[in-house]
Amino acid sequence: MDYETAVAQFLEYLELEQNRSSKTIQNYSHYLTRLSDFAGDIKLSEINDELVRKWRMWLNRLPTSNNEELSKMTQNYHLIALRSFLRFCAKRNWETMQPDKIELARTKRPQVTFLTPEELERLAAQPDTTKLNGMRDRAIIELLFSSGLRVSELVGLDRDHINTKRREFMVRGKGQKDRPIFISAEAADWIDKYLAMRQDNTKPLFIRYSGSKKVDNSGNFTRLTARSIQRMVARYALLAGITKHVSPHTLRHSFATDLLMNGADLRSVQAMLGHSNIATTQIYTHVTDPHLKAVHEKFHRKK
């Protein structure tokens, strides 16, 4: 069987049988197309150790739009996609390379950037809450830190998803997996204030108030995009005098770090973040090491 036909069947399998999101399927398609970009029209039987080795060299030297090399993490995403594809082929007894022969490149543990309590206060104080868009922005900042939501999850929220009385709701995250989200009383209060100021009946929780695309063809306000929230958070961080790079994901990091620093166990934090693998959550453990050292020095009986 030729490679492109097999890839097309694999992408259909992801959509129909695995119920993967359109974004995930798009990413897999992109990564797997990169192999045919390199190797041309190939048969499954032509995928072997030598071809993959040469492809990895090609990826390692492939320039990005910024004329930089692909990061090791991005290169690994290509290999993970190929490995998943080869597993799919193996289940169908198609002759090709064994997936377990593909090893990922070693990568540095990602650096976790998080905000101190004082920085969080300064950031949250920046929106002008006398205005509707400022009230919306304050509610977004409070919700991101209180819940640990991914920005992609936050922009998908509708009004009827949120229960500010119970302060918990369900969200569908990566891999189409549902998980419970819990929010603080303060975050719930800011959401209530924001909704009380709104005079529209638009379904999305967070909507646009400016720009040419603020309303759709039906005259309803449109949903905020992840990119617009990223720009908003970065702008307020600059106004707050925070020199580190701040994004919605920084608030997610801050949420996880705050939980661990205050005694939460790693498994609970994993569940609240929606990580399928505990190893992903373990990037936060080195952040809490200084805290553990302080606990040791304070409570360990000296001899």
Range of the domain at 96: 3-101
13 annotated active-site: no
Are residues 124 and 28 located together in one domain of the fold?
no
List the catalytic residue out of 174, 179, 198, 291: 174
Domain assignment present for residue 140? The answer is yes
**Does 110 map to a domain?**
no
Whether residue 284 lies in the annotated active site: yes
Q: Determine whether 235 is an active site residue.
A: no
Distance CA 52, CA 97 (A): 10
Active site residue 252: yes
User: Taking the chain, what is the end-to-end CA distance rounded to the nearest angstrom?
Assistant: 70
In this structure, the answer to whether residues 95 and 151 fall within a common structural domain is: no
Residues 6+ apart with CB under 8 A from 59: 34, 38, 70, 75, 78
| Active site (annotated) includes residue 3 | no
Q: What span, in angstroms and rounded, lies between the C-alpha atoms of 22 and 186? A: 34
pLDDT string in tens for the chain (303-residue length): 999 999 999 999 999 998 888 888 999 999 999 999 999 999 999 999 999 999 999 999 988 777 778 888 899 999 999 999 999 999 999 999 999 999 988 877 667 889 999 999 999 999 999 999 999 999 999 999 999 999 999 999 999 999 999 999 999 888 778 899 999 999 999 999 999 999 998 999 999 988 667 777 666 788 999 999 999 999 999 999 999 999 999 999 999 999 988 888 889 999 999 988 887 888 887 666 666 666 667 776 654
Domain boundary among 47, 67, 101: 101
Residue 263 lies in a domain: yes
CATH number at residue 179: 1.10.443.10
Q: 58 with 125, same domain? A: no
- In the residue annotation, 174 being an active-site residue is answered as yes
Q: Please check whether residues 179 and 80 belong to one and the same domain.
A: no
What's the domain count of the chain? 2
Return the amino acid letter for 91.
K
Distance of CA 128 to the CA centre of its chain: 28
**To the nearest 10°, the Cα dihedral for 111, 112, 116, 120?**
120
Out of 138, 150, 208, 253, pick the active-site residue: 150
153 with 195, same domain: the answer is: yes
Q: Do 180 and 224 belong to one domain?
A: yes
The answer to the question of residue 149 being in a domain is yes
